[in-house]
Chain A
Amino acid sequence: MVSAREPLLRVEDLVVTFRNPRGAEVQAVSGVSFDLAAGETLGLVGESGCGKSTTARAIMRLLRPSGGQITFNGISIGDMSARQLRRLRPGFQMVAQDPAAAVNPLRTVRKIIEEPLRVWQRDAQAGWDGQVSAMLDAVGLDPDVVANRRPHELSGGQLQRVCVARAIMLRPKLLVADEPIASLDVSIQAQILNLLLDLREQLGLAMLLIAHDLAAVRAVSDRVAVMYLGKLCEVGPVADIYRSPAHPYTQALLASVPRMSQRGTVPAQLRGDVPSPLAPPSGCRFRTRCPLATDLCAQEEPAIREVAPGRLAACHYVTGRPAGGRAAED
Chain B
Amino acid sequence: MALLSAAGVCTSFVTDRGLVRAVDDVHIELDQGQVLGVVGESGSGKSVLVRSIMGLYRLDSRAIRRGSIWFDGTDIAALSARQLRDLWGPQIAIVFQDPMSALNPVMQIGRQITEMLRHHLGVSRSAAAARAVELLDSVGVPDPARRVREYPHQLSGGLRQRVAIAIALSCEPRLLIADEPTTALDVTIQAQILRLLRDLQERLHMAVILVSHDFGVVGSLADEVAVMYAGHIVERGRAEQVIDRPAHPYAGALIRSTPRLEVPPGERLPTIGGRPPNLLALGPGCPFEPRCDRRLPRCRDQRPELTAGAGGHLSACWNPIQDPQSAITSPDGAQ
Contact = CB atoms under 8 A, between A and B. Distances in A.
Interface stretch (B116-124, B251-259, B298-306, B312-320): B251-259
Given A187-B253, A218-B265, A260 B195 contact: no
B188 A263 contact: no
B194 A267 contact: yes
A138 interface: no
Given A185-B213, A260-B219, A262-B335, A253 B188 contact: yes
B187 A253 contact: yes
Given A215-B258, A256-B191, A273-B158, A261 B265 contact: no
B216 interface: yes
A304 interface: no
Contacts of A330: 195
A271 B140 CA distance: 10
Interface in B253-275: 253-255, 257-272, 275
A190 B220 contact: no
A48 B328 CA distance: 29
B228 interface: no
B55 to A, nearest CB: 28
Given A214-B187, A268-B191, A185 B260 contact: no
Interface in A75-124: none
Given A190-B258, A221-B265, A258-B214, A266 B270 contact: no
B126 interface: no
Contacts of B329: 261
Contacts of B26: none
B194 A218 contact: no
Contact of A186 (B213, B244, B266): B213
Contacts of B276: 155, 185
Interface of B: 41-42, 156-159, 186-192, 194-195, 198, 213-217, 219-221, 239-240, 243-244, 253-255, 257-272, 275-276, 328-330, 335
Interface of A: 47-48, 155, 185-187, 189-191, 193-194, 197, 212-216, 218-222, 238-239, 242, 252-271, 273-274, 330
